[in-house]
């Protein structure tokens, strides 16, 4: 993320109660094949799960090797980009570096979904968007901008005031580089960061810490993931704290909507404001 400056009524139970594990036997349509267990809920197929699969809390540990792998790939990508373009801060270098980090994040999410979930990112982590997510997205970005601006005001004029907007400001006067970097912060970062932090990490953590605890914990990881992006060491205080609070807003957005679409839209709009503040 880029940090900007600125009861049914029946007396009888629905199935036999001799023992919760007892089989209730009935003949199938042909009278020859019995079926066992309680009947399915009226109108609900046995083959369609009624709730999202639960990702165990231990799956959250996968975030550590996943991020380490992502950072390692980012270094490799940056090295290749520097060798190809001759610039350590150019758009090619930044793009390859970010692609390495995103590969680590996406690989972790896919692994967890296949190992512990249903192998569906939509069912496991809410990777989908609906029409109502547009309204949720605008509400979320408004809240994110408010909390981030509060941090700016609190630390204004101190050595802890900082920003991570140099990724864009370095491309002023270079149209191609500006387009590439804008696409990175507008499309790539919202998708992969929301899927990793608000999708995978929040879902896994809530099995151990509850829904609210998971929101705040993932936000902490989200904020610290941006350490080192400020122009000054002390300025990281503002960047980390602001993005931590933005992570809380986006975490509650995912919790309330049970999807990632609104958060991705809000994340995109937040970064758009950040880009506009630089240009």
Q: Is 257 exposed, middle or buried (0-12, 13-18, 19+ CB in 10 A)?
A: buried
Say what the pTM is: 0.80
Q: Hey, where are the domains in the chain? A: 57-278
What percentage of the chain exceeds 70 in pLDDT?
A: 80
What's the average model confidence in pLDDT over 90-109?
94
CB 272 within 8 A of CB 144: no
pLDDT at 47: 38
For 107-161, the pLDDT digits (tens) are 999 999 999 999 999 999 999 999 999 999 999 999 999 999 999 999 999 999 9
CB 200 within 8 A of CB 224: no
CA distances from 33 to 26, 259, 278 (A): 8, 41, 70
Token pair in block for residue 151 = 């941090």
Token pair in block for residue 207 = 């099995």
In the numeric block, the tokens 């879902």 are attached to 203
pLDDT range class, residue 8, cuts 50, 70, 90? very low
pLDDT at 167: 73
CB 269 within 8 A of CB 143: no
């Amino acid at each position: 993320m880029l940090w900007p400056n600125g009861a049914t009524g029946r007396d009888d139970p629905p199935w036999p109660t001799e023992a919760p594990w007892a089989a209730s036997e009935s003949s199938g349509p042909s009278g020859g094949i019995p079926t066992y267990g309680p009947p399915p809920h009226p109108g609900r197929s046995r083959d369609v799960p009624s709730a999202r699969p639960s990702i165990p809390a231990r799956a959250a540990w996968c975030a550590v090797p996943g991020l380490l792998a992502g950072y390692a790939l980012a270094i490799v990508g940056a090295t290749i980009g520097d060798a190809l373009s001759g610039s350590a801060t150019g758009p090619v270098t930044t793009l390859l570096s970010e692609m390495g980090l995103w590969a680590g994040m996406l690989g972790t999410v896919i692994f967890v979904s296949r190992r512990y979930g249903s192998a569906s990112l939509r069912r496991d982590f809410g990777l989908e968007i609906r029409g109502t997510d547009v309204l949720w997205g605008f509400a979320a970005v408004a809240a994110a901008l408010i909390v981030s601006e509060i941090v700016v005001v609190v630390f204004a004029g101190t050595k802890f005031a900082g920003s991570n907007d140099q990724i864009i400001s370095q491309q002023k006067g270079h149209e191609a580089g500006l387009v590439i970097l804008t696409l990175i912060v507008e499309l790539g970062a919202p998708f992969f960061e929301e899927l990793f932090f608000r999708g995978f990490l929040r879902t896994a953590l809530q099995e151990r810490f509850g829904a609210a605890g998971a929101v705040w914990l993932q936000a902490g990881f989200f904020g610290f993931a941006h350490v080192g992006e400020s122009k000054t060491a002390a300025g990281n205080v503002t960047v980390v704290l602001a993005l931590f609070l933005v992570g809380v807003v986006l975490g509650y957005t995912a919790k309330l909507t049970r999807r990632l679409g609104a958060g991705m839209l809000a994340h995109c709009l937040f970064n758009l404001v950040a880009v506009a503040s630089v240009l």
